[in-house]
Amino acid sequence: MLERIESPQDLRGLSYEELHGLAEEIRDFLVDSVSRTGGHLGPNLGVVELTLALHRVFESPHDSIVFDTGHQSYVHKLITGRHDFSGLRQRGGLSGYPSRAESAHDVVENSHASTAVSWAAGIARGRALRGESDRTTVAVIGDGALTGGMAWEALNSLADRSDRVVIVVNDNGRSYAPTIGGLARKLDGIRVDPRYERFLGWGKRTFENRGRFRTFTYQTVMHGKRALKGLLTEQGLFEDLGLKYIGPIDGHDQRHLELALRQAKDYGAPVLVHVLTQKGRGYEPAEQDVADRFHAVGPIHPETGLPIVPSRFGWTKVFADEMLRAGRERDDVVALTAAMLAPVGLQPFADEFPDRVIDVGIAEQHAVTSAAGLAFAGMHPVVAVYATFLNRAFDQLLMDVALHKAGVTFMLDRAGITGDDGASHNGMWDMALLRHVPGLRLAAPRDEATLRSAFREALDVDDAPTVVRYPKGAVGDDVPALRRVEDIEILAELGEGPAQVVVLGVGAMAPTAIEVAGKLAAEGRTVLAATATWVRPVPDGLLEVLGDAELVVTVEDGLTDAGVGQEWAEFARLAGRTARWSHHGVPREFLDHASRAQVVERVGLNASAIAERAGALLA
């Protein structure tokens, strides 16, 4: 049946029995396809019926459907005619998130959480101002993303308007990990409150007027021993905002999902529909998983859910190990995470020191400012976050941490080019942003040994923010230094006499710097390759290492024109050095999804391209 679905219109003539069969077929398709390519499996298995209902009730793209984060949009892609998943998250294939380049049905491409309600509020207000009163905007947001403050700012604003917005809370009790905090407890309470039993049928609608709010209620209808108690009202969690509420709805009951969504659509003003779903629905390995391994997977064996290629020892695991050791040695070390406990490597620390881990939910701003407070109280906070998500808390890092000289350590996982998750996940902005923060110290370790040492050095700094950045994936072999010149580590010296060319590699690009040096030396030049673990402030010994070199080449996986290389070059010029500099990094643009190696090649960060450009400058 799936191959006959080319657009949402094709769903509208199907019976509920046919929809049930289609849902099963979609789940089989997802397991088969994602097991080959990798991707976000669990979230998509959980929203099959919900996505079918959305596209039967609303008329996309006339009505806009905004998916928060977007990693649960695979079913949406199938319904809107995109059936070729063979290249999912690969160069030239489908994006793992909504993409305007792919379809008019896709609205928001960014995969950062808690933004959907704000998007919907803006779209709906714009359409109201244009007189487009027949168009509804739908925001689909998870209970995990609802922990983000931005979502509540939007809800507060929406409640004061009468624009046509439907907010669907996809409540599966999880984000990447189980949802925590007061919101999670409240939603748990709603799930078990007998006043809000899951809908088994719909009663006759009646109306009541209570003050300035109109409340829709439904008469109770008995089904065996259970009573249907549906309502559209100001439910406790949202009543102070004045938002209308429907739910909770069984997110796998197609008929009642559609009835609830139609009532929300017909209301013509902001309504929140609370939908209960099961992450990983219909795939036993995912249903039984308690560690959220199926939130995002690499290629797996579909029968068992086990990875085809076991993960190698990675950068995150190195940090996890060193963090646990630090926790055992120092009782002032405390960890913070934004709903990413396991992905950033804090789970072992949390298992042993549960009272010293704070999971704030998807609320990076709160995490950073509360870390400043922890430092003031005498603790040393470690904020572990993906590099791309630190962007969301830059103001807090600048004004709450750095301004107050707070000793807070930031561990930036997945820094640099990450590749297959696309533009919003590449951690390529951090060095360009952080070089503007007064007093901040930044480390870019090149291997396991330097990651461990950089983290320990960061913990000893109590009067300024420290940042340690490292890439996604497996750790390569250690890259030993031949010798040190103060803070600069010499990795290779090729040719006789003073260096004509100095190649400086930043962090994980240090091996590339060595390779570039080798290629230039093969052309008869004297070359020195070097790096520094601590790259900001400018490392001591830099000028001595540069010597009288004719050309200095910098290689980094951050922005070319605003990164570490540019800062070092400016420092050298102010010191009177006249060498030419050639900077190699990531261009200031949003990079399409592809493998990391493909992105590296496309932006010219491979050793051959760098050596060729350097050779041309020396010719």
- The mean pLDDT of 211-225, rounded to a whole number, is 31
Per-residue pLDDT reduced to its tens digit, 366-411: 999 999 999 999 999 999 999 999 999 999 999 999 999 999 999 9
Beta bridge partners of 141: 169
Do 605 and 578 share a structural domain?
yes
Check residue 172 and give its pLDDT: 86
Q: Domain of residue 267: give its range.
A: 2-194+242-287
Check residue 125 and give its pLDDT: 95
Give the pLDDT band of residue 210 (cuts 50, 70, 90): very low
Crossing angle of helices 607-618 and 510-521, rounded to 10°: 50
From 469, 495, 530, the end of a domain falls on 469
Alpha helices in 135-199 (DSSP H): 149-158, 182-192
Residue 103 assigned ligand-binding role: no
Do 405 and 505 share a structural domain?
no
Check residue 70 and give its pLDDT: 86
Residue 145 assigned ligand-binding role: yes
Check residue 493 and give its pLDDT: 97
Exposed, middle or buried, 518 (CB in 10 Å: 0-12/13-18/19+)? middle
Give the pLDDT band of residue 290 (cuts 50, 70, 90): low
Check residue 538 and give its pLDDT: 97
- The mean pLDDT of 124-128, rounded to a whole number, is 95
Contact, 404 vs 372, CB < 8 A? yes
- The mean pLDDT of 206-211, rounded to a whole number, is 30
Rounded Cα distance between 602 and 609, Å, is 10
* 389 occurs within a structural domain: yes
DSSP state of 339: S
- The mean pLDDT of 596-619, rounded to a whole number, is 92
Do 531 and 460 share a structural domain?
no
In the chain, count H helices and then E strands.
Answer: 21, 23
Do 402 and 350 share a structural domain?
yes
* 301 occurs within a structural domain: no
Rounded Cα distance between 384 and 411, Å, is 5
| CB-based burial, 311-320: b 16+ in 10 Å, e otherwise | eeebbbbbbb
Do 594 and 459 share a structural domain?
no
What is the SS3 assignment for 442?
Answer: strand
Domain CATH code at residue 532? 3.40.50.920
Do 590 and 504 share a structural domain?
yes
Rounded Cα distance between 301 and 299, Å, is 7
Check residue 299 and give its pLDDT: 84
Check residue 176 and give its pLDDT: 56
Give the pLDDT band of residue 593 (cuts 50, 70, 90): confident
Do 258 and 358 share a structural domain?
no
Residue 20 assigned ligand-binding role: no
Do 278 and 359 share a structural domain?
no
Q: How many percent of the chain have pLDDT more than 70?
A: 88
Do 91 and 44 share a structural domain?
yes
Check residue 328 and give its pLDDT: 98
Beta bridge partners of 140: 67, 168
Q: Which two tokens stand for residue 228?
A: 């249907």
Give the pLDDT band of residue 42 (cuts 50, 70, 90): confident
- ω into residue 348 within 30 of 0, thus cis? no
Query: What are φ and ψ of residue 336, in 5° steps?
Result: -130, 145
Locate tokens 């109201």: which residue? 128
From 469, 498, 515, the end of a domain falls on 469
Give the pLDDT band of residue 239 (cuts 50, 70, 90): low
* 409 occurs within a structural domain: yes
Domain CATH code at residue 436? 3.40.50.970
From 413, 443, 469, the end of a domain falls on 469
* 27 occurs within a structural domain: yes
Residue 111 assigned ligand-binding role: yes
Do 460 and 487 share a structural domain?
no
Check residue 209 and give its pLDDT: 31
Closest CA to 97 of 44, 172, 48, 136: 44
Q: Kindly tell me if the per-residue pLDDT of 218 is higher than 70.
A: no
Rounded Cα distance between 532 and 484, Å, is 9
Domains: count for the chain? 3
Contact, 123 vs 74, CB < 8 A? no
Check residue 443 and give its pLDDT: 98
Catalytic residues: 279, 364, 392
* SS3 of 455-521: HHHHHCCCCCCEEEECCCCECCCCCCCCEEECCEEEEEEECCCCCCEEEEECHHHHHHHHHHHHHHH
What is the SS3 assignment for 174?
Answer: strand
Query: What are φ and ψ of residue 353, in 5° steps?
Result: -130, 65
* SS3 of 372-433: HHHHHCCCEEEEEEEHHHHHHHHHHHHHHHHCCCCCCEEEEECEECCCCCCCCCCECCHHHH
Q: Is the dihedral of CA 419, 422, 423, 425 positive or negative?
A: negative
Check residue 159 and give its pLDDT: 86
Residue 172 assigned ligand-binding role: yes
* 164 occurs within a structural domain: yes
Task: Quote the mean pLDDT of the chain.
Answer: 88
Per-residue pLDDT reduced to its tens digit, 147-183: 888 999 999 999 888 999 999 999 987 665 666 677 6
Check residue 310 and give its pLDDT: 62
Q: Which amino acid is at 49?
A: E
Q: Kindly tell me if the per-residue pLDDT of 293 is higher than 80.
A: no
Q: Kindly tell me if the per-residue pLDDT of 211 is higher than 80.
A: no
Candidate from 319-333, 421-435, 497-511 with smallest mean pLDDT: 421-435
Contact, 129 vs 122, CB < 8 A? no
Per-residue pLDDT reduced to its tens digit, 188-204: 666 555 454 444 333 33
Give the pLDDT band of residue 305 (cuts 50, 70, 90): confident
Rounded Cα distance between 137 and 204, Å, is 27
Check residue 173 and give its pLDDT: 78
- pTM, full prediction: 0.82
Do 413 and 273 share a structural domain?
no
Residue 86 assigned ligand-binding role: no
What is the SS3 assignment for 278?
Answer: coil
Contact, 586 vs 431, CB < 8 A? no
Check residue 169 and give its pLDDT: 94
